[in-house]
């Protein structure tokens, strides 16, 4: 509890410090001339999908309100076709807006992060299906699992089942949450690892993705909450009545800070790694731009070797963060779904002390 509050505080601190800097960076560099390297542009979500040097523009879906107050749902194959349709125009801030007033209510456009989210989760579902078909045939059920892939899959699956789910959730309940935990673990791992590809985007370095995942964990947690869990939130047992005036708001706040910390932790970790690598590699171009090619080459030696080391670290962090997200999800669910099997007396002494 204290730890998650501290994390939230630190995250807010991080946001309060870093956001103006990013603003300044964007305004200062972008305003006067083309920046040498655009960090924010690289890590941000895009309306195109980049692979092997080619850009594929993704369809736009806008649910918007025009100046007259009428709502429309429009579909365009790309931003260009949207802006060519005369319904939309490119605003001065670089955003697509309706041409004659009005605003976009919901932007349901496909983006690069969404595609990588689908790749990640799709990859997780795909290999699970692949493994499931083998198990259905009896390989791994009647006989031993065969082949490196199935064994590797089993290591991961049993890790999630035993070390994450069984460890934190009551024995008779854990099986229900294994599909979610495994999907999230594999999906986040895939998304994080896809993010290591130089041309790819890290879907988990997007607050929307991590936030939505955390919301799902939050919803599952609340729906698996026992009477005891709600009792602890609204009517904390074993404390004087007036303390509850303080405790209840804190507990209610705690319900939300947990998934919030979950979202911010994953997002910040993945984003920071990405920014760090871009910044360090960007030094090469900044130096080359400022002091000539030789300086750029010189810095390149340093930058590239550091980046190589960072990549190894990032590959490790990618799995660790997936593990942490899954583990904490399991812990939160386990805390909510826990059955307290104790008599009233022991219960009070246990909680008062």
Partner 1 sequence: MTLLLAGGSFLSFNTGFAIWILISMVVFLFVMTKYAVPPIMKSLAEREQNIKESLESAEQAIAKAEKISEDNKKALREAEVKAQQIRKEALDEAELLRTERINKAKEDAAHIIEQAKASIEQEKKQALMELRSEVAKLAVRSASIIIDSELDVEKNNKLVDNFLSDLPKN
Which residues are at the interface with partner 1 (CB under 8 A)? 15, 19, 22-23, 40-41, 43-45, 61, 63, 93-96, 105-111, 113-114, 117-118, 121-122, 124-125, 128-129, 131-132, 135-136, 140-142, 154, 157-158, 161, 175, 178-180, 182-183, 187, 205-209, 211-213, 215-216, 271
Q: What is the CA radius of gyration of the chain?
A: 25
**96 versus 269: smaller Cβ distance to partner 1:** 96
Please, what is the Cα angle at 110 between 319 and 195, to 5 degrees?
Answer: 20
Nearest distance, CB of residue 139 and partner 1, angstroms: 9
**113 versus 232: smaller Cβ distance to partner 1:** 113
Please, what is the Cα angle at 215 between 210 and 221, to 5 degrees?
Answer: 125
Q: Is 76:57 a contact under the CB 8 Å cutoff?
A: no
Token pair, residue 17, equals 């410090």
- Distance in angstroms (rounded) separating the CA atoms of residues 77 and 202: 23
Nearest distance, CB of residue 233 and partner 1, angstroms: 25
**69 versus 94: smaller Cβ distance to partner 1:** 94
Nearest distance, CB of residue 177 and partner 1, angstroms: 10
**181 versus 327: smaller Cβ distance to partner 1:** 181
Nearest distance, CB of residue 213 and partner 1, angstroms: 7
- Distance in angstroms (rounded) separating the CA atoms of residues 58 and 48: 5
Nearest distance, CB of residue 241 and partner 1, angstroms: 39
Q: Is 35:22 a contact under the CB 8 Å cutoff?
A: no
**257 versus 288: smaller Cβ distance to partner 1:** 257
Please, what is the Cα angle at 3 between 267 and 353, to 5 degrees?
Answer: 155
**15 versus 294: smaller Cβ distance to partner 1:** 15
- Distance in angstroms (rounded) separating the CA atoms of residues 274 and 152: 28
Nearest distance, CB of residue 254 and partner 1, angstroms: 22
Q: Is 203:213 a contact under the CB 8 Å cutoff?
A: no
Nearest distance, CB of residue 168 and partner 1, angstroms: 17
**112 versus 257: smaller Cβ distance to partner 1:** 112
Token pair, residue 249, equals 């708001």
- Distance in angstroms (rounded) separating the CA atoms of residues 77 and 49: 13
């Amino acid at each position: 509890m204290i730890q998650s509050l501290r994390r939230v505080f630190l995250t807010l601190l991080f946001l309060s410090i870093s956001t103006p800097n990013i603003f300044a960076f964007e305004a200062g560099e972008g305003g006067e001339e083309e920046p040498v390297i655009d960090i924010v542009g690289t890590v941000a979500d895009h309306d195109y999908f980049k692979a092997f040097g080619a850009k594929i523009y993704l369809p736009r879906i806008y649910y918007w309100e025009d100046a007259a107050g009428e709502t429309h749902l429009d579909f365009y194959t790309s931003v260009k076709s949207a802006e060519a349709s005369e319904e939309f125009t490119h605003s001065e801030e670089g955003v697509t807006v309706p041409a004659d007033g009005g605003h976009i209510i919901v932007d349901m456009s496909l983006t690069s992060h969404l595609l990588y989210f689908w790749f990640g989760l799709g990859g997780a579902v795909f290999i699970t299906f692949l493994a499931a078909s083998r198990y259905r045939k009896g390989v791994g059920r009647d006989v031993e699992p065969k082949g490196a892939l199935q064994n590797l899959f089993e290591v991961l699956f049993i890790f999630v089942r035993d070390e994450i789910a069984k460890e934190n959730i009551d024995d008779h309940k854990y099986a229900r949450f294994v599909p979610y935990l495994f999907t999230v673990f594999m999906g986040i791992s895939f998304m994080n690892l896809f993010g290591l590809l130089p041309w790819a985007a890290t879907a988990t370095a997007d607050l929307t993705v991590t936030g939505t995942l955390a919301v799902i964990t939050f919803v599952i947690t609340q729906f698996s909450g026992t009477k005891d869990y709600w009792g602890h939130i609204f009517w904390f047992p074993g404390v004087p009545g007036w303390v509850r005036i303080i405790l209840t708001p804190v507990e209610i706040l705690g319900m939300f800070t947990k998934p919030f910390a979950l979202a911010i932790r994953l997002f910040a970790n993945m984003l920071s790694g990405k920014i760090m690598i871009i910044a360090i590699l960007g030094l090469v171009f900044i130096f080359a731009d400022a002091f000539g090619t030789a300086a750029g080459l010189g810095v390149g030696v340093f930058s590239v070797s550091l980046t190589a080391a960072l990549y190894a670290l990032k590959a490790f962090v990618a799995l660790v963060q997936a593990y942490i997200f899954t583990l904490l999800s399991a812990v939160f669910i386990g805390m909510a779904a826990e059955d307290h099997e104790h008599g009233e007396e022991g219960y009070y002494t246990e909680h008062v002390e």
